[in-house]
A and B are shown apart, each in its own frame.
Chain A
Amino acid sequence: MNTATLTLGLGIGWRPHIALAIDRMSDLGFVEITAENFDAPARLPRHLHVLRSRGLAVVPHGISLSLGGAERVDPARVRHLAELARELGSPLVSEHIAFVRAVGHEAGHLLPIPRTHGSLHVLVDNIRAAQDLLPVPLALENISALFDWPERDFDEADFLAAVVDRTGVGLLLDVANVYANHRNLGTDPATFIDRIPLERIAYVHMGGGFENDADGVYHDTHAHDVPAGALDLLQTLAARAPLPGVMLERDDNFPDERHLNAEMDRIRAALSRARNRNAHRETHA
């Protein structure tokens, strides 16, 4: 996917609980919807059509394709994403590099896949099958995980680069997931950012989480504020590459409007710091 012409701007995950607060945000460029939450593309909430009429893009985001699963992709699930994209005039749709079911059993969560040559074969084949049914480009997201597979031919950055190279998908880079994997699996975020194809980033997710002292694990809940460490990473990333879109993900424990706007402000501030740093560098070059 050609991300050079993509301009989404600042965005947020659209959820019914915060629909009114989103309606009142004045500088949004896009919203993302969870595709599985909308059974009938012809009967979408009025809010989404109003946002569309204001010029915002709406990006359908899937969570059930299981592109990294051993099973072949279910065409009906892809067609649902395609129908939403057509109905909403979406510039792209997105999904995950993950699996969510095996032999018909549901995990109820996005699970990591082994980063092996064999797994890459299957993933690439599944992505191509999905792309054949989609009317718009596809971007894929890196997930957070609490464990790693023992078999490994690639590190995460090289695996993402290989997927992008072989399929032409864009990257939906979840910076909070990079932060979570740093905290939980020891992934080095600087090396990760150095090695992924930054020019293929379609947009960025920023979600919240919390550090659980009881188990010593960072939990990527999307029900808490974005951690400062993830905002620092966003700043680093934004200083390195143009980001067509950046959005907040809040899925639960919804705050009041003032707090939600403050979370958006923290993202704006990180992007602004990156711009200022770059401008300062250019001035003194």
Chain B
Amino acid sequence: MPDDGDDDDDRHTLADRQRQLLESLTTDQPAPPEFDPRRIELARRSLLAKRARGVAKAWPSVAADLAGRFDELVERYARSHELPQARTGDDDGLRFARWLCREGLLSDDGRIQLLVRRAARGWPLRMTRLPGSHRLAIALRLPARGIRWFSIRFG
């Protein structure tokens, strides 16, 4: 049977082609040889839109906060951050929010949301600056009481 069984050569050939294709679908790499570049661009836009929907669904208020810049910023973020292994919109959204924060693009409200999300996992005490109101926000995860946060003036 010519089509039965496994063959390492087949896996290597397929791996090369799938890697090339995925790179061009998720980065700015051109379409792999012989693919229709217009079709690959359509698929690239479609994947990006799906990723943006996942982020917006996980973080609706951050998306609303960015208003008309959301799509442009998700695209900038997606170019330099591949999809997390867990592939959930929530994880991707968390990384997007942290990226916005580092880039100075997250409002004080967005920073507080990020702070609360971060306090929900890992270290139970988190803090962040709120440059818009010159305050420092501190979040605590308390046993049986969930996340509590408050802010103090600084500077």
Show the binding face of A for B, using Cβ within 8 Å.
64, 69-71, 99, 101-109, 111, 113-114, 117-122, 124-125, 145-151, 162, 166, 215, 217, 219, 252
- Whether B80 is near chain A, meaning CB under 8 Å from some CB there, is no
On whether the beta carbons of B3 and A102 are closer than 8 Å, the reply is: no
CB neighbours (8 Å) of B5 from chain A are 121, 124-125
Q: Mark B43-63, 1 if CB is under 8 A from A, else 0.
A: 101110011011000000000
CB neighbours (8 Å) of A71 from chain B are 11, 15
In Å, the complex CA distance between A166 and B1 comes to 10
Can you identify 13 A-B contacts, CB atoms within 8 angstroms?
A71-B15, A99-B18, A102-B21, A107-B22, A111-B22, A117-B2, A118-B14, A119-B14, A125-B5, A146-B42, A146-B46, A147-B36, A149-B35
Select which of A122, A147, A217 is within 8 A of B40 by beta carbon: A147
On whether the beta carbons of B40 and A118 are closer than 8 Å, the reply is: no
Among B68-76, B81-89, B117-125, B146-154, the stretch that binds chain A is: B81-89
Tell me the smallest distance from the CB of B30 to a CB of chain A, in Å: 14
On whether the beta carbons of B15 and A105 are closer than 8 Å, the reply is: no
On whether the beta carbons of A219 and B17 are closer than 8 Å, the reply is: no
With A118-B7, A122-B6, A146-B43 in contact, is A105–B14 under 8 Å at CB? no
Select which of A114, A147, A217, A219 is within 8 A of B14 by beta carbon: A114
Tell me the smallest distance from the CB of A65 to a CB of chain B, in Å: 13
Select which of B18, B19, B36, B50 is within 8 A of A109 by beta carbon: B50
With A106-B83, A108-B47, A146-B46 in contact, is A124–B4 under 8 Å at CB? yes
A-B contacts besides A99-B18, A111-B25, A119-B14, 13 pairs, CB < 8 Å: A71-B11, A102-B21, A102-B22, A103-B19, A106-B82, A113-B18, A117-B3, A118-B10, A121-B7, A147-B35, A147-B40, A150-B33, A151-B17
